[in-house]
Structure 1
Amino acid sequence: MSHHAFFSALAMALTLVGFYPYLRGILSGSTRPHVFSWVIWASTTLVVFSAQIDAGGGVGAWPIGVSGVLTTLIAVLAWRRRGDVSITRGDWVFLVLALSSLPLWYLTDDAMWAVVVLTVVDLLGFGPTFRKVCAAPQSESCGFYGLFALRNAAVVLALEQHSVTTVLFPAAIGTACIGVMLLIAYGRRRAAVRARRHCYDPR
C-alpha cells in the first residue's frame, strides 16, 4: 500500500468515526441539525471533491467525497425527521455563494477559483461557532475538532497532486478546527482561573 492510499484510508476512517455520533444522535432524536446548513455543506464538499479529482488529487480526494456523501445523508435525514428548518437571509447568501462556484468554474475553466469560493464559504460558517465557544467553551467538544483537524492533515498527506486546488480546502478547514480547539482550551482555562479566584474570594 502506498503512503497516499494509507493516509487516504486513515482520513476516511477518521471521517466515519467523527460523523458516527452525530448520525446516531439524529436517528435517536437527540440531535436536530439545521437542514439548510447541511445542504450548503453538502454542496460545497461535493464540488470541492469534484475539483480535487479534476486537479489530480487521486486517492487523497476520496475522504472529501466520503464527507460529501455523509453530509448529504445528514441533510436528507434532517429533512425527513424535520430538524431545524428555519432559514435566514444569511443562509440564502451562503447558498448563493456556494452555487456561484459552479458557473465560476465553468467560465474560467479553472477549478481553483471554485475551491477558493467554497473554502471562504465554509470558513465563514465557522463564525457562529467561534462566537459560541468564546461565550461558552464547555459547549463544544475539543476532541471532535481535534479529530477533524487530524483528518484534514491526513487528506493533505494522501493527495497525489499538491496545488492550491487540492490543498486549500482541507488545509483551511483543518486550521479552523485547530483554531476552535485553541479557543476552547483558552476559554476553559480562563473559566477555571475565575472559579479558583471565586473560591478564595467569594465576593
Structure 2
Amino acid sequence: MNGILALVIIMNIKDYISLAAIALTFIGFAPYIRDIHRGTTQAHAFSWIIWGITTVIVFFAQLDAKGGSGAWPLGVSGAVTLYIALLAYQRKRTLKIASSDWLFFYAALSSLPIWYFSADPVFAVIVLTTVDLLGFGPTLRKAYHHPYTESLTFFSLFALRNGLVILALAHYSLATLLFPAAVGLSCLFLIILVLFRRYSLRVHSVPDRDHMP
C-alpha cells in the first residue's frame, strides 16, 4: 500500500513538472513571437522548419516509448515551433541565406525518411535528434555574425524547459532522454556563443586609446 501511495505521489509530481514545462514553453515562446513581429528578432526559417518537424515526430516517438506526461511539453512545443517556422518563412526575405544553410537544411531533410523505415523507437529518436541538431547550424551561423538578432531569454527558458521535460518523464531510456538532453545542451551552447560574440563586438568597438591621435 505504501509503495502504491508513493507511486501516486511521484506520478503527481511528474505531472506538475510537466505542466511547469508547458508553462515555460508558452512563457518563452510568447515574447519570442512578439519580437519576431516587431522585427527585433530574426528567426531562421530553415532551423525552425527542421525543429518543428522533428519535435512533433519525437513527441509521438516518446509517447510510443512510454514517456508519459513528460512527452506533452514536446507536443505543445512542436505545434508552436511550426507556427514560428511559418512566421520565419514569411519574413525570410529580410535574412541572408548562406550556402552552408542550404547544406544543413538538405542534410536534415534528407535524413528524415530514415526514421520512418525503422521499427525501433530508439534508432528513430537518434536519427531525429541528429536532424534537430543539424537544424541548429543555420541559427548558429546567424548568431555568430549577428548575435543581437537572437533572444538569450528565450533560449535560456528553452534550456530550462528541456531540463523539466527530463524530470517529468515517466520512463527513462535513451529513446526518451536523448532528444530533450541534446536540445537543452545545444541551447546552452548557443547562449554561450551569443554572449561571447556580443562581448567580442563590444570590445572591438571601443577605440584603441594607445593609437588615438
* Whole-angstrom CA distance in 2 between matches of 1:93 and 1:193: 36
Q: Which residue of 1 aligns with 2:140?
A: 130
- Report the CA distance between 1:141 and its aligned residue: 2.0
From 108, 115, 127, the equivalent of 2:125 is 115
Partner of 1:93: 107
Count residues in correspondence: 195
The residue number in structure 2 matching 1:56 is 66
Q: 2:174 aligns with which of 155, 164, 173?
A: 164
Indicate the SS of the match to 2:117: helix
Task: Quote the residue 2:209 is aligned against.
Answer: 200
Q: Distance in 1 between matches of 2:133 and 2:159?
A: 14
Unaligned runs of 5+ in 1: none
Is 1:4 aligned with 2:14?
yes
Give the secondary structure class of the aligned counterpart of 1:42: helix
Q: CA separation in 2, counterparts of 1:12 and 1:150? A: 11
Q: CA deviation at 1:97?
A: 1.3
TM-score, normalized by length of structure 2? 0.77
Residues 182, 72 of structure 1: alpha-carbon distance in 2 compared, 3 angstrom cutoff: closer
Q: How does 1:145-156 map to 2 (within 5 A)?
A: 145-156=155-166
Higher mean C-alpha displacement, 120-129 vs 132-141: 132-141
The whole-number CA distance in structure 1 between the counterparts of 2:81 and 2:65 is 23
Structure 2 distance, partners of 1:59, 1:103, is 26
Unmatched runs of 5 consecutive residues or more in structure 2: 1-8
Inter-partner Cα distance in structure 1 for 2:80 and 2:123: 25
Question: Per-residue deviation at 1:98?
Answer: 1.9
How far, CA to CA, are the matches of 1:121 and 1:98 in structure 2?
7
Partner of residue 176, structure 1: 186
Residue 84 of structure 1 pairs with residue 92 of structure 2: yes
TM-score by length of 1: 0.81
Aligned-residue offset at 1:29:
7.4
| Kept after mapping to 1: 8 A contact 2:104/2:137 | no
* CA positional deviation for 1:185: 1.9
C-alpha separation between the residues in 2 aligned to 1:154 and 1:190?
Answer: 32
Distance 1:136 1:89 in 2: 20
Distance in 1 of aligned mates of 2:86 and 2:139: 23
CA-CA distance at 1:96 after TM superposition: 2.5
Cα distance per residue 1:78-122 (max 9 Å; x no partner): 67xx44399956534322212321112xxxx21011111111111
Q: State the alpha-carbon separation in 1 of the partners of residues 187 and 170 from structure 2.
A: 24
Give CA-to-partner distance per residue, 1:164-195, whole Å, 9 cap, x none: 10010010000000001111222223333334
Aligned partner of 2:5 in structure 1 is none
Distance 1:39 1:141 in 2: 18
The answer (yes or no) to whether the contact 1:43–1:98 under 8 Å persists in 2 is: no
Aligned to 2:3: none
Percent identity of equivalent pairs: 44
